[in-house]
């Protein structure tokens, strides 16, 4: 891979650090009037998800990481891998449980997910911001509660558990924000 210098570090640039691909979040220039200049950089490690601060001498170079995002449709899981397909080329790719992490609970067949590839291998999978899933289990709600103030836990078809208003019943399809894990509404019929 190519090397890039600290002055090319900007938000979104991907570099290698400690053998792990990282995303640059912020780059601050620090220089005494008389003395060495430094770049204090905030970095998200893409595999562990950890955000760290690292200081470089200005002008130092690091290796870039071959990281790209691609939108693929979720097909199915064989228990060990989750299979995705490029709808244009029909090329398929399999992501493992580590790449999926917690997001496995938001996978819906045929939904387009953003897959982050490092050297061609999936390291992260981001579901759409909103998904619609069926409630497979929830307590019967109290009649007359339309304000949805209290709420109750509901288990969805993927195993995800979200809080829903009391009036929402088992068997209904609900819309959920995958970023916060919060109920949004009943699905439009």
**Which chain residues interact with other proteins by CB under 8 A?**
7, 28-38, 40, 53-58
Instruction: Quote the least distance from Cβ 25 to other proteins, whole Å.
Output: 15
Instruction: Quote the least distance from Cβ 174 to other proteins, whole Å.
Output: 41
Which CB sits closer to other proteins, 4 or 184?
4
Phi and psi torsions of 182, nearest 5°: -105, 145
d(CA 43, CA 81): 29
Instruction: Quote the least distance from Cβ 130 to other proteins, whole Å.
Output: 31
Instruction: Quote the least distance from Cβ 43 to other proteins, whole Å.
Output: 13
The CB-side HSE value for 36 (13 A sphere, CA atoms) comes to: 9
Residue holding tokens 């029909």?
Answer: 90
Instruction: Quote the least distance from Cβ 34 to other proteins, whole Å.
Output: 5
Q: Which two tokens stand for residue 127?
A: 């579901």
Which CB sits closer to other proteins, 6 or 138?
6
Q: Is 110 helix (H, G, I), strand (E, B) or coil?
A: coil
**Eight-class DSSP state of 46:** T
Which CB sits closer to other proteins, 34 or 189?
34
Q: Is 52 helix (H, G, I), strand (E, B) or coil?
A: strand
Which CB sits closer to other proteins, 6 or 23?
6
Tell me how far CA of residue 188 lies from CA of 66, 108, 132, in angstroms: 40, 17, 9
Which CB sits closer to other proteins, 33 or 49?
33
């Amino acid at each position: 891979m190519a090397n890039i210098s600290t002055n090319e570090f900007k938000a979104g640039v991907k570099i290698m650090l400690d053998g792990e691909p990282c995303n640059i979040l912020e780059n601050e220039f620090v220089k005494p009037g008389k003395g060495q200049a430094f770049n204090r950089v905030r970095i998200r490690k893409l595999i562990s998800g950890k955000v760290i601060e690292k200081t470089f001498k200005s002008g130092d170079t690091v290796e870039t990481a071959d990281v790209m995002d691609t939108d693929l449709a979720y097909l199915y899981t064989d228990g060990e891998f989750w299979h995705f397909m490029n709808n244009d080329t029909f090329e398929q790719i399999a992501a493992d449980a580590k790449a999926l992490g917690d997001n496995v609970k938001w996978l819906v067949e045929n939904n387009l997910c953003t897959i982050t590839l490092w050297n061609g291998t999936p390291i992260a999978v981001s579901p759409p911001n909103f998904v619609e899933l069926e409630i497979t289990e929830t307590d019967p709600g109290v009649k007359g509660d339309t304000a949805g103030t209290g709420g109750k836990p509901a288990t969805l078809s993927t195993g995800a558990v979200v809080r829903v208003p009391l009036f929402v019943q088992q068997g209904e399809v609900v819309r959920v924000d995958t970023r916060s894990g919060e109920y949004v509404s009943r699905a439009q019929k």
